[in-house]
Structures are given as structure tokens and as C-alpha cells.
């Protein structure tokens, strides 16, 4: 069946590339790109593409996206793929300065809360906003950008206290949602996804130690993401997988 794609965080490196790939993918008849601000967005002209400005921390705005999807569903019986590609590793905006912590002395309450708010709570508020859509019983895949560093079992290097914890907490939130959805919305598949290190603004300051050939272009990263997402069965469980489709330990 033909599908609608929704990409949240469309101004981001991975999110933006996903928008372009979904527009070029014949499986999608409609692509909705969502960003907190559409001022900086520039995509190739495509009649499938709709751009919406919305932020999950403002429920009335998030509901606009849900309403657009429900409207599309009323017009044609379409299944949905949602990519939540938002996230934060470092920033220096206004009074908030966030840098991944190398040592515990660097831990700062305000910075850590900003990372947790962005990486853990914002994606979950998107899921909350989509509840009326999920209740329509369409086959729906929701892929959320997590990260391998959110794996507790895989944490051998330490460091990055807030970012790691925000992704581990995101995984736990998604696990909890998948348990609830198995009962309420068995038609919804949740995927916590690690894209591999990708050349974006988020990874830019930390690319020096990435081994040769392991820094993915945004284009390749989006291609892998969409391929892995489309291969996921709707099976009432949360998957934590990487760009090869391989499971990651929790």
C-alpha cells in the first residue's frame, strides 16, 4: 500500500536528507516535512511535499501535524511512516551552553536538563500528539533517532553523561510506549535507531577520531535509515537497531 512519510526535524542534517529521499521514493505519495522554523529549509521542488512549522513542546502546534495526517487519511486510505530526527548534543544559544561532558565535574544542571528535554521528552511529546492518528488503526512505523551511546551495555568509554543518559532514557520511554501500544495500538511499530556517525552539524566537532570510511554522508545515512525502516515488521515490539538493521544491546 502507498504511504505518507512524515519527517520531524526537517532542518537537521539527517532529517533534511530523509525528506529528499522520501520525496524521491515511489512508496510515498505524500511527504510532510516538519520543523520548528521553516525559515532555513530549502528542498528540491516536489509536488508531494508539504512543509509545516511545529514544535512538540507546544501541543496546539503538534496537533496541526496530526490533523494534517488525519486529513490525508480521510482523503485516501494511506499507511504512515514517521521519522523523528530531532536531537541535541551541543549548542551555545542565549544563556544555554551545552557541551558533552568529559568528566563528572563538567555536569551542569541546566545543560543536562536541556539535553534531556530535547532528546528524551520532545520525541515522546510527538508520540503523545499522534495518539488520535494511531487510534485510526493504520499500519504505522515510527522511527526515532536514538544513538548507540544510549546503550548501557555498550558503554565502555564513559563520558557524555547527559547525551548518553538522554538516549538511554529515550529508549526506556519508547519501550514503555511499545508495551502500552501492544494493547492500545497494535498497528504501530516503534523503532529506536542508530544512524552511524553522520556528517552533520551535530557530529562536526567530534569527527576527528572517526575511523576512515566510518563517517557517513547525510545522503547515505538517509538511504540506510529508510531502507531499515521499511524492512521492519509491525510486531508490537520496540526494536533498537543500527544502520545495518542489526540489533543493539540495551
Ligand X SMILES: NC(=O)c1ccc[n+]([C@@H]2O[C@H](COP(=O)([O-])OP(=O)(O)OC[C@H]3O[C@@H](n4cnc5c(N)ncnc54)[C@H](OP(=O)(O)O)[C@@H]3O)[C@@H](O)[C@H]2O)c1
Question: What angle (nearest 5°) sits at the alpha carbon of residue 202, between those of residues 37 and 22?
Answer: 60
CB of 195 to ligand X, least distance (A): 5
Report the residue number, 27 or 207, with the smaller CB distance to ligand X.
207
Nearest residue to 111 via CA among 95, 122, 134: 95
Report the residue number, 22 or 138, with the smaller CB distance to ligand X.
22
Considering only 4, 12, 116, 161, the residue that binds ligand X (CB under 6 A) is 12
CB of 19 to ligand X, least distance (A): 10
Packing angle of the helix pair 122-129, 59-75 (nearest 10 deg): 40
| Cβ proximity of 125 and 173 under 8 Å | no
Is 150 a binding residue for ligand X by CB under 6 A? The answer is: no
Is 7 a binding residue for ligand X by CB under 6 A? The answer is: no
Packing angle of the helix pair 161-184, 122-129 (nearest 10 deg): 20
CB of 1 to ligand X, least distance (A): 28
Radius of gyration for the chain, computed over Cα atoms and rounded to the nearest angstrom? 17
Please give the helix or strand (H or E) that residue 84 lies within, else none.
Answer: strand 79-84
Considering only 69, 202, 228, 248, the residue that binds ligand X (CB under 6 A) is 202
Residues 45-64 that bind ligand X (CB under 6 A): none
Report the residue number, 15 or 134, with the smaller CB distance to ligand X.
15
Grid cell 510515498 — which residue?
A: 28
Going residue by residue from 90 to 109, which x/- string records binding to ligand X, judged by CB under 6 A? -x------------------
The residue number whose beta carbon is nearest to ligand X equals 87
Is 87 a binding residue for ligand X by CB under 6 A? The answer is: yes
- Give the interface segment with ligand X, choosing from 60-68, 182-190, 198-206, 239-247 (CB under 6 A): 198-206
CA 134 to CA 233: how far, in whole Å? 16
| Cβ proximity of 53 and 77 under 8 Å | no
| Cβ proximity of 241 and 248 under 8 Å | yes
- Give the interface segment with ligand X, choosing from 9-17, 67-75, 103-111, 127-135 (CB under 6 A): 9-17
| Cβ proximity of 250 and 171 under 8 Å | yes
Question: Given the rule CB under 6 A, which residues bind ligand X?
Answer: 9-15, 35-37, 85-88, 91, 118, 122, 145, 147, 194-195, 197-198, 200-203
Amino acid at each position: 500500500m502507498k504511504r505518507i512519510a512524515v519527517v520531524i526535524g526537517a532542518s537537521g542534517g539527517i532529517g533534511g536528507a530523509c525528506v529528499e529521499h522520501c520525496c524521491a521514493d515511489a512508496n510515498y505519495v505524500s511527504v510532510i516535512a516538519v520543523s520548528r522554523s521553516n525559515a532555513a529549509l530549502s528542498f528540491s521542488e516536489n509536488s508531494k511535499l508539504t512543509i509545516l512549522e511545529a514544535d512538540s513542546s507546544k501541543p496546539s502546534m503538534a496537533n496541526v501535524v496530526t490533523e494534517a495526517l488525519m486529513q490525508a487519511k480521510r482523503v485516501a486510505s494511506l499507511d504512515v511512516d514517521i521519522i523523528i530526527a530531532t536531537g541535541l548534543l551541543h549548542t551555545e544559544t542565549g544563556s544555554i551552553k551545552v557541551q558533552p561532558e568529559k568528566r563528572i565535574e563538567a555536569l551542569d544542571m541546566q545543560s543536562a536538563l536541556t539535553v534531556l528535554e530535547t532528546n528524551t521528552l520532545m520525541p515522546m511529546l510527538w508520540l503523545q500528539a499522534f495518539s488520535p492518528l494511531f487510534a485510526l488503526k493504520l499500519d504505522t512505523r515510527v522511527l526515532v533517532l536514538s544513538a548507540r551511546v544510549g546503550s548501557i551495555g555498550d558503554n565502555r568509554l564513559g563520558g557524555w553523561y547527559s547525551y548518553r543518559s538522554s538516549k538511554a532514557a529515550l529508549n526506556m520511554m519508547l519501550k514503555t510506549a511499545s508495551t502500552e501500544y501492544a494493547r492500545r495500538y497494535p498497528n504501530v511499530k516503534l523503532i529506536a535507531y542508530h544512524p552511524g556517525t553522520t556528517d552533520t552539524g551535530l557530529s562536526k566537532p567530534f569527527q576527528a577520531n572517526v575511523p576512515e570510511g566510518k563517517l557517513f554522508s547525510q545522503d547515505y545515512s538517509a538511504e540506510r535509515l529508510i531502507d531499515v525502516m521499511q524492512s521492519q515488521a509491525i510486531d508490537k515490539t520496540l526494536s533498537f537497531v543500527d544502520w545495518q538493521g542489526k540489533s543493539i544491546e540495551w
